[in-house]
Amino acid sequence: MSITPVTSTPGVARDGATVYEAGNYGVVTGKNTNGTNAGFLVLRDASAASTYRFTIGDPGTTLRLNDDGTVTVLNANGQFVNYLSAPWARDANNRDLPTSYSVEGNNITQHIDTTGAAFPVVADPSSECGVGWCSAYFNRTETKQIAAGGPLAATLISGACVAINPWAGLGCAIATGGVVGMAIAADSTGDCIGLFFTPVGSNPFIEPRGTAHCY
C-alpha cells in the first residue's frame, strides 16, 4: 500500500516541531541542529503503509536517483537545486530497516520494509543541501580522528569538501585548525562534528550524539 503524506491537515506544535497526525502514521517537521529543515515519518504500527510519496518542487523539477541511493534535484533549466541523502529507517529497538527511494517526475517515494519491526518506526527522507548551502557530517569515530589533528584530520576535512563541491559548486575555504578545535570539544562530550558549506566558505558545527548522523 502506498500513501501520499497529507500536510494540509493542521499541524500541532510540540517541543519546537510541527506534528501532522494521519491515522496510523504521522509526519514531524522541524529544524536540524544546524538550523536546516528536517522531516520525519513515524509509522505507529504494522497497519501503516510501506511506501510514502512526496512531491518535490514544481512540475518542472527533475529528480535523478543515484547509484548510492541519494537523489539529485534539478530545476526546469537542469540546474542543481537540492540533494537528498540516502534514506534511513529504524524501529523502536533502534534496528536499521531496509529502505530505498524510487523517483518519477518530481515525485519521490520512500519504500520501507517493516518485516519483524518493533513499532513505532521512524524514517527520514532527508535533505542535505539547499540553494546556497550544503552540510557534511562526521560520525563519532571520524570526529575523534579529526580531533587528533595531523594528516588524517586534514584528509577527512578536505574529503568532505570534495564530496560536497561537485554537487553544489560551493566554496571550500576551510580553516583546519578551527575544525579540529571544535572536533576536540565535540569528542570530549561524545558528540560529532559537521561542516556547513556556503558559497563563501564553511563553518563547523556540533551534531549531538544520538542523531541519525552521530553514531
What is the torsional sign of CA 68, 103, 210, 115?
negative
Grid cell digits, residue 49: 503503509
Residue 201 has pLDDT above 70, yes or no: no
* Chain mean pLDDT for the chain: 78
Residue 84 has pLDDT above 90, yes or no: no
Taking CB atoms within 8 Å and a gap of at least 24, the contacts of 89-93 are: 89/114, 89/121, 89/122, 89/123, 89/124, 90/121, 90/122, 90/123, 91/117, 91/118, 91/119, 91/120, 91/121, 92/117, 92/118, 92/119, 92/120, 92/121, 93/118
- Over residues 57-80, the mean pLDDT reads 84
Give the separation between CA 206 and CA 27, rounded to whole angstroms. Answer: 26
What would the DSSP string read from start to end of 51-116? EEEEE-S-TT-EEEE-TTS-EEEE-TTS-EEEEEPPPEEE-TT--B--EEEEEETTEEEEEE--TT
pLDDT band at 199 (very low <50, low <70, confident <90, very high): low
* Higher-pLDDT residue of 11, 49: 49
**pLDDT value for 1:** 47
pTM, rounded to two decimals? 0.58
Written as one letter, the residue type at 86 is A
Q: How many C-beta atoms surround the C-beta of residue 37 within 10 A?
A: 11
pLDDT band at 147 (very low <50, low <70, confident <90, very high): very high
Residue 168 has pLDDT above 60, yes or no: no
Residue 118 has pLDDT above 60, yes or no: yes
Give the separation between CA 99 and CA 50, rounded to whole angstroms. Answer: 9
Cα dist from 74 to 58, 173, 193, whole Å? 11, 25, 29
